[in-house]
Chain A
Amino acid sequence: MIDLHGYGPRLAEGALVTVEVAVLSLVLSVILGLLTASAKMSRSWFLHRLGTLYTTVIRGIPDLVLMLLLFFGGQMGVNVITDWLYYQFDIDIFININEFVAGVLTIGLIFGAYMGETFRGAFLAVEYGQIEAARAYGMNHWLVFKRVRFPQMMRHALPGLSNNWMVLLKTTALVSVIGLSDMVRIASEASKSTREPFTFMLLVGAVYLAIASVSEWGFARLQKRYSVGFGEAD
């Protein structure tokens, strides 16, 4: 067995933080992605521009800069809003933009933009006649989405979604720069104090790889599930 010099439990905690950040960012980015795709396909000029602006801004700014911006600038912004709410409406809330929240928000925002593109392409790939049929049978917008658009879109979205997730997972390592004790940060502390960087970085790499492999397996199953009815070739 490799000797972790007592860092085992802390590394496990760090791994948990990494997974939490990754999963919450994924959820946020999927929601943002669906909203962005809808905005870009909307016939409202304003929503369309808003969606485009979001994607352009996110793509143009380095991930690290965005994270620092949100971490340091975010709390100031939130304070302005909560102060205003307090003085105008006597609503007293306190929102703390800590490292965790800033990390999830940044990564969610970044990947929301990429997911938006993935989902837009996927929505457009759904055969229009089937959506019309859903409308013709009395489904409202929500039902059309839930029962036809979404399940059919997923087949086209999953390859891109899976790709984005793999990159997102690795991007979580960025949260260590704003001081969040994720797996990478704890491993680098351990490396320094034990002077055995190789042991700890190899371990961290292996954990990332394990998560990625499990996800790949999961995505393959999802792909299978959402391809039901479409034959093998598709």
Chain B
Amino acid sequence: MAATPLPLEVRNITKRFGETEVLKGLSLQAHKGDVITLIGASGSGKSTFLRCMNLLEQPNEGELLVHGEEIQFKQTRHGREPADWNQVVRMRAKLSMVFQSFNLWAHMTLLENVIEAPVHVLGKSKKEAIEHARALLERVGLADRADYYPAQMSGGQQQRGAIARALAMDPEVMLFDEPTSALDPELVGDVLKVMRDLADEGRTMIVVTHEMAFARDVSTQVLYLHQGIVEEAGPPAEVLDTPRSERLKQFLAPKH
């Protein structure tokens, strides 16, 4: 038995949308400090897999353990659903997600975005949350943007703000869904830099990305998804530098 429970463990998840099975039994174990990157062609199921981890999608089968606590499910008319939404709320507070399209709350300033969940979900005092938020904004290079609304910031600034919002939860695991895909090329670097820093300080992260250099440099493990299954998995040197399957070789080949 491990002394401390894994931050996140996923066992044999399947997911169907109507008749199509888009996840066909996926598993993953995140140890503390792991950076697991998910790569694969568009439509291979990366986002759905990530979204199953915090139950934004309900997996049809499989188990999910957050910090050793297994999420309970029950069967309903609408399919399998969490048995206890309070448990889901608790587990979500331990996993923060960073979205491709940022999804900052448009009616709140950046600072308000960052303190929102700590105050209203975790029950932190506003004063404490603001102090923490200011430190985090400083860290992602947005100290001077605290009172701006999302619409007044560039995509890169919004995404770094969204990372600050995620950090404010003191999460066990951070989930990133293609955090740089919606950004203009010149803004990608700043966001990746923040993410590299997080990896360096030992954050547990699961990252869907097309940034291969990032995946190679920071991941402890790379999973290559194809049509809802993990085709290859291992350390980046193995998966990215000596791919076994023809398909992965094709996928990694420089595009023209």
Interface residues of A (CB under 8 A from B): 43, 127, 129-130, 132-140, 143, 147-148, 151-152, 155, 226, 228-231
Q: Assess the B117–A135 pair: CB atoms within 8 A.
A: no
Residue of B93, B101, B116 ringed by the most chain A CB atoms within 10 A? B116
Q: Are A230 and B121 touching (Cβ within 8 A)?
A: no
Residue of B nearest to A127 (CB): B106
Contact present for A138 and B90 (CB under 8 Å): yes
Instruction: State in angstroms the CA–CA spacing of A152 and B150 once bound together.
Output: 14
On chain A, the residues within 8 Å of B106 by CB distance are 127, 130, 152, 229-230
Interchain CB contact (< 8 A) of B105 among A133, A140, A155: A133
Is B255 at the interface (CB under 8 A from chain A)? no
Does the CB pair B117–A138 fall under 8 Å?
A: yes
19 A–B contacts, CB within 8 A, in A order: A127-B103, A127-B106, A129-B103, A132-B99, A132-B103, A133-B97, A135-B92, A136-B92, A136-B96, A136-B97, A138-B92, A138-B169, A139-B121, A140-B86, A147-B116, A148-B105, A152-B105, A152-B106, A229-B109
Q: A151-B107, A229-B106, A231-B151 are in contact. Are A137 and B169 (CB under 8 A)?
A: yes
A16 to B116, CA, bound (A): 41
Which residues of chain A have C-beta atoms less than 8 A from B117's C-beta?
A: 137-139
Residues of B within 8 A of A134 (CB): 105
How distant is the Cα of A228 from the Cα of B151 in the complex, in angstroms? 10
B160 CB, nearest partner CB in chain A, Å: 16
Contact of A229 among B85, B90, B151 (CB under 8 A): B151
- The reply to whether A140 and B97 contact each other, CB–CB distance below 8 Å, is no
Closest chain B residue, CB of each to CB of A148: B105
Contacts of B56 in A (CB 8 A): 132, 135-136
Question: What would 11 more interface pairs be, CB under 8 Å, given A132-B99, A136-B56, A148-B105?
Answer: A132-B56, A134-B105, A137-B165, A138-B89, A138-B90, A138-B93, A138-B122, A140-B89, A147-B120, A148-B107, A151-B107
| Docked-complex contact A136 and B54, CB < 8 angstroms | yes
Assess the A139–B120 pair: CB atoms within 8 A: yes
Is the CB of B83 closer than 8 A to any CB of chain A? no
The residues of B that contact A133 with a CB separation of less than 8 Å are 97, 99, 103-105
Q: Which of B55-103 contact A (CB under 8 A)?
A: 56, 78, 85-86, 89-90, 92-93, 95-97, 99, 101, 103
Least Cβ–Cβ distance between A16 and chain B, in angstroms: 36
Chain A residues closer than 8 Å to B92, beta-carbon distance: 135-138
Closest 8 pairs between A and B when the two form their complex, measured CB to CB: A138-B93, A229-B149, A133-B103, A137-B117, A129-B103, A138-B121, A138-B92, A136-B97
Q: Which of B54, B78, B92, B103 has the most CB of A within 10 A?
A: B103
- Bound Cα distance from A231 to B152, whole angstroms: 8
Bound form: Cα–Cα A5–B101 in Å: 68
